[in-house]
Structure 1
């Protein structure tokens, strides 16, 4: 066992900064030290951990295999320490000046974000929300994002991620009323064969449809991919392209009233929306408050929990 009295934990903060920034100069800027001080700290850390940890390249520095192995444990440990310290300070929404960063699946953003904005105006006017797309690398997502509201979550370091089910909804297929195949029964084969417009993965955070179709030996005819749900109803109404949506949007988006819909013929697929967060920040007061607020917003609208 290492005697922690002889180990400077600040060296681990510098290790994380070098890993995140990929250069000594970038790490120095992040931690507020000179490059020479960071280099000296790295030399000490190399001795303590008995490994080179980083090697120089034309683009900066790259971690050794040992450094990669250590990174998750060091990140987790620093997270726990940060949370333990922050718990000594009560989060007061009405006085807080803070920005939270969230990834939100596009299908649910129209429900969540207006309600969240209204509650923040009343309860936490100094709190702001930065919404990021789902294009961030899974290796770095929890260094940049406080939480996610996403479709059934992928495998993002499951040992470090907590989740809570917010809503479950069935999936429907949308087409215009006079679509050439509007009178045909919707089967998996027909669904895959018809031309689609779909939301990009950056908006949904999932490839579940592709995964299920692939398991059946099928593949969608994807003729158009858009970044926002807002574009889809008008595209479907004015073309032969079809799309999918949570059934609750039939009530929330009036543009869908003119479209024909049928249940998605893939029984394995439902739209399950989950709130996900990093285990390291689970008890941090500010994040705990925001998670509880998001849960409350979904609970207040009980229809979100009920399949159509």
Structure 2
């Protein structure tokens, strides 16, 4: 075992292809040509292999190179090993959406799930009808352990800046929207004084005690009064309707809910950055063929507003 182990340690595995070619052809010139090598280079490589395996391997006969007993013994295993390696490093099979039954696992919020339902699912119904999408609620913005265990392929969250992420996580902006402030239909205008004199709802999917609104007000030396913190975007408008509470949220979500609730939409009375939704991917698995397809699909379907 130790002798075999020592041979493997010093063996140049590239020379096994040379061995296999010469065993098949029994002619140095023909074998060299099949490997796009000169006869001289082939002979030098064969000499190295003889030293590494401590056997003559082939003896020149009257009409051909004759394999030694040792060469005859190892040829079947060498051929099998080369075949396994070729399969291992062969081009990856294509991902065919129309035929695939692959499952994609997404960590989502209620709002990102709504967006997925509005565009991705109708597309899949037409173009990848057997693909399954699992939308999962997670308690953390970047569920690293779930990525590592293979439970998740993607996480959908929001950010307004390029946050410092874990080195194994990449982020992609897949949706942008402006913010609006909503109030019950009792309100006919919105200015900074009205905004600050009323209490607010804070949307906090991952338990943050303040949000981008508070950051922007802080830059102005101002502070709002938060009455209620909730985890879901889409519940907020129901709580605003008929109340004195105000809520600042993405305009798309507000416009969606306006059709069914007595609420009014206003521009925030101070500067706000764009609302950016991020697609978070796990570097060790983000470049599988199916994940590349899904990532590119999301980025193409959800064109920024």
Secondary structure at the aligned position of 1:291 is classed as helix
**Aligned positions, number:** 215
The equivalent position to 1:200 in structure 2, one of 192, 197, 204, is 204
Q: Which residue of 1 aligns with 2:169?
A: 161
Q: Which residue of 2 aligns with 1:140?
A: 145
Q: 1:86 & 1:227 partners in 2: Cα distance?
A: 47
Who wins on radius of gyration, i.e. which is larger? 2
Cα 1:168–1:243 shift into 2, 3 Å: same
Q: Does the 8 A contact of 1:106 with 1:203 survive in 2?
A: no
Structure 1 unaligned regions, length at least 5 = 7-83, 300-304
- Of Structure 1 and Structure 2, the greater helix share is in 1
Structure 2 unaligned regions, length at least 5 = 1-7, 10-87
Q: Which residue of 2 aligns with 1:291?
A: 295
> What do the CA deviations read for 1:39-85 (whole angstroms, capped 9, x no partner)?
xxxxxxxxxxxxxxxxxxxxxxxxxxxxxxxxxxxxxxxxxxxxx97
Secondary structure at the aligned position of 2:284 is classed as helix
> What do the CA deviations read for 1:175-204 (whole angstroms, capped 9, x no partner)?
01214xx54x422x7535522223332499
Q: 1:87 & 1:201 partners in 2: Cα distance?
A: 41
Q: 2:173 & 2:247 partners in 1: Cα distance?
A: 25
**Deviates most, 282-291 or 207-216:** 207-216
> What do the CA deviations read for 1:197-252 (whole angstroms, capped 9, x no partner)?
23332499x94334444555544433223343332222211211111122233543
Secondary structure at the aligned position of 1:281 is classed as coil
Cα 1:165–1:121 shift into 2, 3 Å: same
Normalised TM-score (structure 2): 0.58
2:274 matched to 1:270?
Answer: yes
Q: Which residue of 2 aligns with 1:233?
A: 237
Structure 1 residue 131, shift from structure 2 partner? 1.7
Correspondence list, 1:175-194, <5 A: 175-179=183-187, 182-183=188-189, 185-187=190-192, 190-194=194-198
The equivalent position to 1:109 in structure 2, one of 110, 113, 123, is 113
Q: 2:91 & 2:225 partners in 1: Cα distance?
A: 51
2:265 matched to 1:281?
Answer: no
> What do the CA deviations read for 1:150-172 (whole angstroms, capped 9, x no partner)?
21267463533333322322111
